[in-house]
Amino acid sequence: MMKTAYWGYWIIILGVFVFIVMMFTQTATTFNTQDYYEIKEVTEASLYESVDKAYYRNHDGAIKINKEKFVANFMKRFAETASLNSTYEVNFYELYEMPPKVTVEIKSSGGSFFIANQNTDVATTTRMTAIVESIEGTGIEESIKCTWD
């Protein structure tokens, strides 16, 4: 009789342990998924806003972006949509005006957890590259397309 009672206690303890591990894993993956879609949407919108329209008109449909305008637009949009519970580090690589290409990396720290007398930090790094392409024979609004790497 006692043996079956102990097995019941062990199963309950195992269930609580699995629940705690799943809770921490869900927190880490939620931050990573949120960062991925946030970077994608913010980068695409910032690229569209930073296209030099005068250069497009004067150079037969060639697309060129303004690097400073892109960084300013990206930081403004990212700050509006970023989670207040996380700490972010934003890095820009390969900022090319022509052909337009940007690589954005975001390192986010979603907080720390106290596990087994150790402070554990959940941090993710998301890096994305966007290249702007043009489709000939259309207006500027329809001709810009982002390709993701």
- Coil vs helix vs strand at 62: coil
122, 24 contact by CB (below 8 A)? yes
pTM of the model as a whole = 0.66
**Phi, psi (degrees; rounded to nearest 5) at 49:** -70, -25
Look at residue 90 in the predicted model and tell me its pLDDT.
85
108, 84 contact by CB (below 8 A)? no
Look at residue 114 in the predicted model and tell me its pLDDT.
62
Look at residue 2 in the predicted model and tell me its pLDDT.
60
Bridge partners of 87?
109
Positions of the chain with pLDDT under 70? 1-2, 24-32, 61, 85, 110-117, 119-122, 134-149
Look at residue 110 in the predicted model and tell me its pLDDT.
65
Note if the bond before 99 is cis, omega within 30 degrees: yes
Look at residue 78 in the predicted model and tell me its pLDDT.
86
Look at residue 88 in the predicted model and tell me its pLDDT.
81
Question: Which residue ranges make up each domain of the chain?
Answer: 2-148
